[in-house]
Amino acid sequence: MKIIVIIIFILILASLATALFHLVKHKSGLDSEKIMKALTLRSGISILLFILLFLAVVTGLVKPHGLGMQMHKPESSSSPQRQ
């Protein structure tokens, strides 16, 4: 799963670099279409990555960890409870 996510991130960066190249190097109307296609592709790949990660968490392929999980830990019984 990590390899798939890394490959998708590389594709997103490549699409962004392509759009930047056409923006900087060329100023014609045809290149404007190339810029739009590259940015549209990047947006589509980003949405695909989001959906893929969401499905991976829902199906259990990826287990969330880190700060978010630490914030939602139940408090231990030894600590005083607030009322």
Tens of pLDDT, residues 4-52: 989 999 998 998 888 888 888 876 666 678 888 888 888 999 999 999 9
Return the pLDDT at 44: 92
Nearest residue to 31 via CA among 39, 43, 23:
23
Number of neighbours of residue 16 by Cβ within 10 angstroms: 16
Return the pLDDT at 78: 55
Average pLDDT over residues 49-63: 89
Number of neighbours of residue 62 by Cβ within 10 angstroms: 16
How crowded is the C-beta side of 14, counted as CA atoms within 13 Å?
7
Phi, psi of 26 (to 5 degrees): -125, 150
pTM attached to this predicted model: 0.66
